[in-house]
Amino acid sequence: MKKLRWQLVIIFLTGLVVGILLYTQQPTVGEQPVEPVPTAGGIYTEGVIGSLVRLNPVLDVYNQADRDVNRLVFSSLIRFDSHGYAQADLAESWGISKDGTIYNFSLKPGVVWHDGKPLTSDDIIFTIEFLRAAEGVVPSDLVAFWKEVEVKQVNESMLQFRLPEAFSPFLDYLTFGVLPKHLLGDLSPQELMDAPFNLQPVGSGPYRFDHLIVENDQIQGIALTAFDRYYGEKPFIQQIVFQYFPDAEVAFQAYQQGEIQGISNVPPEILTQVLGEEGLSVFSARRPELALVLFNLKNPELPFLQETDVRRALMTGLNRQWMIDRLLNGQGFLADSPLFPGTWAYYDKLERFDYNPEEAISQLITAGYQIPAEGGDVRVKDGKPLAFKLLVPEDPGYKTIAEAIQKDWKILGVDVSLEYLPYDQLITERLDSRLYEAALVNLNLTRFADPDPYPFWDQAQAAGGQNYTQWDDKNASEYLEQARITLDLGERSRLYRNFQVLFIKELPALPLYYPVYTYAIDRQVQGVQLGAILDPSDRFSTVNQWYLVAKRNAKETAAPALDATAAGQ
């Protein structure tokens, strides 16, 4: 009995100790896992494809590498978010008159340039005056636009714009980077082209110019440092370094060798390699571009292109998803509208065209196009064969897409021959003059936040504008014209919905796909997000939230952000 009692006591004590240990291991009720807290510090180095030309926001239209740096160095009156809504940047607030011709802006207080001088409405007016006078330096349509707008200074923190008539996309024109008048006010546009400022810029953005990286008398990169007097949310990463590379493959090799932490652009050719790199996070976003086939609807030699049923059959007979999967390595989204998905103007309940060659053939037969009784591969109606020429830009990417289109349409009994031209020549010599039958093109709206499709599809642009199809639909044009003078986004959205429904019903052109922009960044860089973009430089729209260093609690010392959960892939 005594022996048994001792065994019971030992079992009881052992159970008690285990119970206490288990109790102390349990989290407190309501206790949450400790999340890493971002903290300032660290250097992020990115490989940029291209080279530095001019670090000047009004001179960077044709150089993406410059725009990437300028996005961090310079500020604008407003920015646009990924859904196309205007957001304040330098502006604190703005108001618009009921007739849509007067815009009043107030600036945020206490904004300073990187050299400490105050930024005022004078600087914004100076930048606009430069745009007006910069013939041959900036795009001519931008020069002409600003010559029509009256700009008036109310005081140092307020200014007013007066338009000759209501124009709802006006805010889109206020995203230009503002230049410092106190440093550049005495220079002409031509002098500014070669000014030292372009290599040692002074802006008002979250990062300031620090120094150029020069090797063998060649600029190899540039270093930026976080601006401690920035008016907005201060960035965590202390320094951002850009290194220039001739192509993405060389940049990827630099990443593998530990020289850089990010690659500014990952084309389809190296995507598989990049995806196989364990330390890289890959982010993708729809580009503000649209690949489509244009038809010359006014070509008297090709009356069948004026038939809606034929155009719809041609759309149904295109295996667009196969093109995206096989030819673009998955780097694209099916297009079902001339407007971009994810924006406030896009209508997501449009008719969809799935690949169905049998249905396409049936549509052509119903429209009266038959294979001749005597034989052949091409359908004919009233002695006119379904045959035309497709203009294609001289580029390997376009070539493979064009050949796939040609093959798909041959299955339907449509004979398409291909003619290759340099892209500029295709536009200026053939589309501008309307001397074409059909054309494979890429509608590029980079940097344009407002969805305004008027220039490409309105009746008024058919003769000498960019309505290359010469689509002549009165109702569609009325929707576009009314949307241009309507300030209410809800009403504009309704008008654009009606326009898109008409467009997809009539198909004056065939939307193919929206290309994808892909960006790679090391997983040690946390807080990275990528939504829809207006320009690849918009990958930095959330740069103030990126971080390399984090701590787990107030008592713990800083730890690498690699310990944190990855921001997404």
Contact criterion met (CB below 8 Å) for 172 and 179: no
H-type helices in 54-120, by residue range?
Answer: 64-73
Is 413 among the domain residues?
yes
CB proximity list for 30: less than 8 A, separation 6 or greater? none
Secondary structure (3-state) at 550: strand
Contact 312, 510 (CB under 8 A): no
Please give the residue that has the higher pLDDT: either 52 or 531.
52
pLDDT for position 429: 96
Instruction: Say whether both 238 and 372 belong to one domain.
Output: no
pLDDT at 34: 64
Tokens representing 376? 């052949």
Per-residue confidence (pLDDT) for residue 403, from 0 to 100: 98
For the chain, the first-to-last Cα distance in angstroms comes to: 68
CB 44 within 8 A of CB 237: yes
Q: How confident is the model at residue 35 (pLDDT cuts 50, 70, 90)?
A: confident
Please state the length of the chain.
569
| Rounded Cα gap, residues 115 and 366, in angstroms | 72
What is this structure's pTM? Answer: 0.88
- Across 1-15, 264-278, 514-528, least confident range: 1-15
pLDDT score recorded for residue 212: 98
Q: At 540, is the pLDDT very low, low, confident or very high (cuts 50, 70, 90)?
A: very high
Structure tokens, 332: 């694209």
Query: Within a domain: residue 476?
Result: yes
Whole-Å CA distances, 371 to 317, 355, 405, 411: 17, 22, 20, 12
Answer yes or no: is 58 within a domain. Answer: yes
Residue 13's pLDDT band, with cuts at 50, 70 and 90, is very low
pLDDT of residue 375: 83
Statement to judge: residues 297 and 241 lie in one domain: no
- pLDDT band for position 562 (50/70/90)? very low
CA distances in angstroms from 482 to 104, 331, 537, 569, listed in the order given: 23, 35, 32, 41
Say whether pLDDT at 257 is over 70: yes
Q: What pLDDT is recorded for position 464?
A: 87
Domain at 341, CATH number: 3.10.105.10
- The whole-chain average pLDDT of the chain stands at 91
pLDDT category, 448, cuts 50, 70, 90?
confident
Whether 313 and 439 map to the same domain: the answer is: yes
Can you give the CATH number for the domain in which 264 is found?
Answer: 3.40.190.10
Among 379, 396, 397, which residue's Cα sits nearest to residue 388? 379
Q: Are 124 and 74 in contact (CB under 8 A)?
A: no
Residue corresponding to tokens 């038809």? 295
pLDDT at 17 over 70: no
Which amino acid belongs to residue 474? K
pLDDT score for 374: 85
- Same domain for 343 and 419? yes
Q: Which residue has the tokens 């196009």?
A: 369
* Host domain of residue 555: 33-74+205-279+523-569
475 within some domain: yes
- Final residue before a domain boundary, out of 196, 216, 240: 196
pLDDT of residue 373: 86
What is the share, in percent, of the chain residues with pLDDT greater than 90? Answer: 83
91 with 211, same domain: the answer is no
CB within 8 Å of 280: residues ≥ 6 apart: 255, 274, 520, 521, 522, 523
Q: Please write the tens of the pLDDT for every residue from 393-435.
A: 998 889 999 999 999 999 999 999 999 999 999 999 999 999 9
Query: Given a cut of 60, is residue 25 above it in pLDDT?
Result: no
Which of the pair, 210 or 373, is modelled with greater confidence?
210
Question: Is residue 324 predicted with pLDDT exceeding 60?
Answer: yes
The pLDDT of residue 314 is 98
Whether 447 and 508 map to the same domain: the answer is yes
Q: Which of 196, 222, 256 is the last residue of a domain?
A: 196
Q: Does 364 lie in the same domain as 307? A: yes
User: 134 and 272, same structural domain?
Assistant: no
The residue written with tokens 């396409």 in the block is: 360
464/533 same-domain check: no
The DSSP code sequence of 233-275 is PPPS-SEEEEEEESSHHHHHHHHHTTS-SEES---HHHHHHHH
Residue 333 CB partners (closer than 8 Å, separation 6+): 286, 324, 341, 513, 514, 516
> Are residues 65 and 80 both part of a single domain?
no
Q: Please compute the mean of the pLDDT values over residues 242-249 and round it to a whole number.
A: 97
Report yes or no on 15 lying in a domain: no
Residue 124 in any domain: the answer is yes
- Return the pLDDT at 321: 98
Tell me what pLDDT residue 553 has.
61
Residue 552 — very low, low, confident or very high, per pLDDT cuts 50/70/90?
confident
Share of the chain above pLDDT 70, in %: 91
Shared domain check, 453 and 374: yes
Question: Is residue 19 in a domain?
Answer: no
* CA-atom Rg of the chain in angstroms: 29
Domain with residue 98: its CATH number is 3.90.76.10
Domains in the chain, number: 3
pLDDT at 190: 87
Specify the pLDDT at position 10: 41
Residue 563 has pLDDT above 80, yes or no: no
> Is 534 inside a domain boundary?
yes
Q: Which two tokens stand for residue 185?
A: 């006010």
Residue 205 has pLDDT above 50, yes or no: yes
- Higher per-residue pLDDT: 534 or 479: 479
> What integer pLDDT is reported at residue 33 of this predicted model?
60
Rounded-to-integer distance, Cα 255 and Cα 247, Å: 13
pLDDT tens for 88-131 read: 999 999 999 999 999 999 999 999 999 999 999 999 999 999 99
* pLDDT value of residue 270: 94
Tokens of 25: 């291991």
Out of 196, 222, 249, a domain closes at 196
pLDDT tens-digit series, residues 56-90: 999 999 999 999 999 999 999 999 998 899 999 99
Q: Are residues 81 and 155 in the same domain?
A: yes
